[in-house]
Amino acid sequence: MLTKTKLRDVLTQIDKMFPNAHCELNHSTPLELVIAVVLSAQCTDVLVNKVTPGLFSKYPKLEDYLEAPLENIEEAIRKIGLFRNKAKFIKQLTEMIAHDFGGNVPSTMEDLIKLPGVGRKTANVVLSVCFGVPAIAVDTHVERVSKRLQICPKNASVLEVEKTLMKKVPKQDWSKTHHLLIFFGRYHCKAQNPNCTECPFADFCKEGNQRLKAVKA
């Protein structure tokens, strides 16, 4: 497995490749980000960003979701996969924010994960991006890259990936690391077609070596 020192070098290199790594889900309030992350489950950020301008302008305030019939929210997000479930989550989580959290998106992991449709990943994104709390959200890119780069074992659970990254990366760098690994996974070490031929980590990446050998064979 990658040592802390080696991981620091890897992250420095990724930072050079993607100096502008950031949250790509468009939002202007914590509520909008919670909703955008809920919508992004099994769906690309690009598609979410196509749908949210209409949704957010139709429902600019928390109260607007409370008053809206479920079918109208479904209609506003119907281009997104699993839109019926996601509309239900939006309705339920806005009701909980209004009734249990005084109308404000909570700012702790403990409370965020009480919201319907919100798990650790969403909570970590919101904590880090909206509230400046150091956090590493493990999505599909972070998980894949962490395993390919041997930051953690291939059979590690999502929670184990998160814990390993938190152990190996200094706390002040957690949030940035999350964005760096997402950008590296989204734009370079893609799931189906990673760019191993132009990868600075091909010398030690087992997966990359296997793929490069297969290309030469």
Output the smallest distance, CB 202 to ligand SF4, in A: 4
196 touches ligand SF4 (CB under 6 A)? yes
Is the CB of 104 or the CB of 195 nearer to ligand SF4? 195
139 is catalytic: yes
Window 41 to 80, contacts with ligand SF4 (CB under 6 A): none
121 is catalytic: yes
Q: How far apart are CA 26 and CA 129, in angstroms?
A: 12
202 touches ligand SF4 (CB under 6 A)? yes
Output the smallest distance, CB 191 to ligand SF4, in A: 10
| Count of helix runs (H) and strand runs (E) in the chain | 12, 0
Output the smallest distance, CB 148 to ligand SF4, in A: 5
172: Cβ contacts below 8 Å, ≥ 6 apart: 134
Interface pattern 129-158 for ligand SF4 (x via CB under 6 A): -------------------xx---------
Long-range Cβ pairs for the range 17-22 (8 Å, 24+): 17/183, 17/184, 17/188, 17/200, 18/180, 18/183, 18/184, 18/187, 21/176, 21/179, 21/180, 21/182, 21/183, 22/179
Question: Could you tell me if 142 and 182 are in contact, meaning their C-beta atoms sit under 8 angstroms apart?
Answer: yes
Structure tokens at 43: 């769906």
* 139, 163, 168, 176: the active-site residue: 139
Applying CB under 6 A, the residues found at the interface with ligand SF4 are 148-149, 188-189, 194-196, 199, 201-202, 205, 207-208
Catalytic residues: 121, 139
